[in-house]
Each structure stands twice: as structure tokens, then as C-alpha cells.
Amino acid sequence: MSGPALHQSYAEALPDLSVPWRAEAPPDPAVAWLNEDLARELGHDPAWLRGAEGMALLTGQIEGTTAQAYAGHQFGSANPQLGDGRAVLLGDLVDTRGRRRDLHLKGAGRTPFARGGDGRAPLGPMLREAVIGEWLHACGVPTTRALAVLTTGEPIAPRQGTAPEPGALLVRVAASHLRVGTVQYAAWHLGPEVTGELVEHAITRHHPSADGPLGLLEAVARSQAELVAQWMLLGFVHGVMNTDNMALSGEGIDYGPCAVLDEHRRGAVFSSIDRGGRYAYGNQPGIALWNLSRFAEALLPVVDARTPDDAVSQATAVLEGYEGWYRDAYALRLGRALGVDAAPEEVLALGEEVFALLERLRRDHTRSLRSLGAGDAAVLAEDPALAARWRASGGGAGGREIVTPVYVPRNIALEESLRAAHRGDLAPVHEMLDAVRSPFTVREGLEHLEGPGEGTEGFTTFCGT
């Protein structure tokens, strides 16, 4: 292999939490997009990846691959048996910076966890994951990323409508694929011994300074507080924050029916399957805590099996820190976004008023924050008292770093680029990727990607299933 050796650390450490499984061979695979920068970071030559041996790796035609088992709460309801229904873990490697990272193949065909699906993935959602991951990464947000998106050369059943869609594969790079749902599966099916081994594996891999299961709970809670705070300031709506989509590493993962705010709305929901608004934009911090509470429940037998009440008290004490960790992370980033320099409580109060005004006036989330960060108070013109408070907090002083991007994956523009890819034209999605990978730099010719575009009312996203 041209590049770092591929290991099976997860399967070797936790054999009860995966099954050996090989991806189905696609009939005519072709690279739709290769993340050459990430390939080099992993230690792979992009030219080699495009060759026969590299394509064997990218399509999962190698030895030792596995499908991972996990459970989870989906829209609040426990599902004891989920897992990699259409994916395989290719393995893990140590990259050029000494970090251990997973390679994971999505759309790889049916596995023992397929739950009735065909195991295929359509091109549009796989490209959506690539775009969202690259944008979040460029904005400094911990996230999984796409190494490659490939077409498979076969049509697959449509998600909506009647026309077949082009099949695709996503090669995802992650710190790991350990999820809250992985711990739930171990606790529900395998007992304290395996759960304890999983806890130790997660600590070693992601949070080496954590002390036991309570230390892991705190580390994951802190990392999730930081992650969701960043999502909120960027206006990112994950769309399906089930416990199987919460990674123990603190990275964002599984970008299915996600979207980005155009107008600022706390209640914004874009996912076609979130009919009750459980995962609305403004609910994300609270849902993260709900998921962490389910994580804590799964850990209780390895916290203190002999005195369950004490285990509950200890885990609760850890979780009580979440709101403060989130508030601190959010206030720090909010102050930078607003271009002010004030005490956290003052920043939070100011931000609440600013966002209430933006929602009332139906103003664009990204452009409004970027203007304020640049010292322009025009967006506050209809509330002179608020504008005065913003200036009193340091707004308009100038010389501050602007932390709100110019380019975000605007819903309409991204959807149009994915439709073009469906028709065989990859140029628009490549242009979108180019824009969001350098999101803070204004460039000529990309003006059409700066704003929300036409037809944003009622925009809906669909799962890539």
C-alpha cells in the first residue's frame, strides 16, 4: 500500500462490537471528488488513490473490513439494534501528524445491520456530506470529513419520486466512529465487562487525561458543549441529533438532513422526518444535554454497580456542569461574532436581543453577524437603543477579527448543485466546495454563493437513505 498501514484497532480491542464484513464491489466506480489535501494529510498520494490499488481501498475491496454495531435513541425512542447498515469500517491509520484516524465507507451495500434497506447511497447526499464537512472544518469546527466521493456506475432506488438516482460511495475520515449509541449497545446487550473495555478504549483514543467513566462523561460533555456552541453561531442545523449521531470524540458526524439558517429563526426545522421539530435550530443545546444524559445512563453500571443511587448522583453532578460549559463556549464565540468585548453575561444578554431583532425582521443570520463583526450597525438601525448598547459593549471599535464566514453552504445553492451532479454535471458542486473551503475570503465570481438565493421558503432536506 502506498501510504500508512491500515490497522483494525477497533475490531481487535472490541471484537463483540463489530462483525467482519466486506463491501459489495461497485460495477463501475469513478471518482466524483477526491480531497487531495486530506489525502496528503493522511499520508496517501492522490495519484495512487486514483489508480487501481487506491480504488480498491476507496471501494472497500480490501481485507479486514468490519461493520460496527451500535444502538441509540432516535427521535427520543430507544432502538436497541442499529449499526452500520450500509457501511463498513475500512480500518484506521496514523496520519502525518501522528493522529489515529478511521477510514469508513458509506453506501457499501447491505450488512447484517441493514434493517431492510438495500445498503446503497445516492450521489446527492454523499456530496452533501462532503460539502458540509469541508465547510465546518474550514470554520474550525471539529468534524468528520470526506476523503472521496465516488459514483458506483449503477442506478439505485429513489428517495422520493420515481426516477432512479446515481449510486455513490462516501469515504469518511473521522477521529473514530465511537458513538453514544456504541456505549448504549454495549450496556444493553453485552454487560459491564464489555462496556468497561469500551470506556477504556474511548479514553485511550480520545480523552487520555480522563479518569474512568465519569471522567469520560465529563470530557465528552465538554467537547459537545464546545461543538454545539460553534454550530449555533454558524447557524448550522444538524437535523437528526439522535444518540447514534453523537460521537465520543467531539466531532460532528452524519450530515444527512442538515441545513444552514438563512433567516434567523430559533424554530427552524429543515428535515422532512422531524415533523415535531425536536431537532430545531434553537433546541440543539438542550438536545445535546438530553443525549449526554442517555450516555450517562449507559455508563451507570461501570460507574458504581453496587450502589446504583450513588452512581446516579455522581453522573448527575457531572452533567450539571454542561450548561455552564456551553454558556462559556457560546459567550466567547458570540462576543467575537458580534465584534464586542464585554463580560460573558453582558454578551449573552446583548446576543439575545440581537437575535430577537433579527428574527422579528426576518434578517439573514450570516450576513447580519458578519456585518456586526465588521463594525457595521446597520442591521440594528430599527432599534437605536440596542445599537447604543452594542456600541457601549465595544461594537464598531474596529480592528477585530471577523469570525463569521462569507460563504456557507446556502440551502438553495447547495441543492441546485446536487441536482446538477445528479444530471452528470459536477462543476457546480466543485465550485461550492471551493468556496466553502476558504469561507472567510471574498472572491470575484462567487457573489451568487454569498446570499440565500431564491426559493428558500419551505426548504426541506431529506435523509440519504
| Residues designated as active site | 244
For residue 252, the cross-strand partners are: 143
For residue 6, the cross-strand partners are: none
Residues 410, 415, 417, 418, Cα dihedral to 10°: 140
Quick count: other Cβ atoms within 10 Å of Cβ 399? 6
The single residue listed with the C-alpha cell 449503477 is 154
281 near 266, Cβ under 8 Å? yes
115 near 160, Cβ under 8 Å? no
Using DSSP's 3-state secondary structure scheme, residue 166 falls into strand
Q: Which of 169, 185, 316 minimizes the C-alpha distance to 248? A: 185
Distance CA 228, CA 286 (A): 10
The 8-class DSSP code of residue 168 comes to: E
Q: Alpha helix (H) ranges present in 122-185?
A: 123-138, 180-185
- Positive or negative, the CA dihedral 145, 150, 155, 161 is positive
> What are the C-alpha distances in Å from 13 to residues 16, 189, 202?
9, 17, 11
300 near 312, Cβ under 8 Å? yes
The single residue listed with the C-alpha cell 425582521 is 361
Distance CA 237, CA 257 (A): 9
119 near 86, Cβ under 8 Å? yes
Distance CA 74, CA 81 (A): 11
What cell numbers appear for 291 in the block? 443525549
Q: Which of 231, 235, 164 minimizes the C-alpha distance to 422? A: 164
Distance CA 148, CA 313 (A): 45
